[in-house]
Amino acid sequence: KAGVTQTPRYLIKTRGQQVTLSCSPISGHRSVSWYQQTPGQGLQFLFEYFSETQRNKGNFPGRFSGRQFSNSRSEMNVSTLELGDSALYLCASSLRLRGGGNTIYFGEGSWLTVV
């Protein structure tokens, strides 16, 4: 079956702009999580959506937001981009919410560079 698909794979934005990243989870998976990966901070949890509702949120400013659609596809948005937002943004999907060793599957990520 198809894996987690993220678009776009690479993008360059200017400070102050906003960006929207898209994630299509594995068919049948209802939970979608987003992570930010940087060399300095590693993988940081952004938020998790399940059945169109945000169930968990990490410690990121309000400029970072997301949503999930009825078909489980998810988008995340970053407004007023800062240089420090340059990172690999990873989406992960799973059948259920976190817990009990539930397996999650990562996409290849979207590389965002802010100049």
Tell me, residue by residue from 64 to 103, as one string, x for binding to another protein by CB under 8 A and - for no binding. Answer: --------------------------x-x----xxxxx-x
Q: Is 43 in the site for another protein (CB under 8 A)?
A: yes
Tokens representing residue 6 in the block: 């993220």
* DSSP per-residue codes, 18-66: -EEEEEEPPTT--EEEEEEEETTTEEEEEEEEETTEEEEE-S--TTEEE
Q: Is 21 in the site for another protein (CB under 8 A)?
A: no
* Among 49, 68, 85, 109, interactor with another protein by CB under 8 A: 109
Backbone angles phi, psi at 108, to 5 degrees: -80, -10
Tokens representing residue 38 in the block: 């940087």
Nearest distance from C-beta of residue 10 to another protein, angstroms:
10
Residues within the interface to another protein (CB under 8 A): 4, 33, 35, 42-45, 48, 55-56, 58, 90, 92, 97-101, 103-109
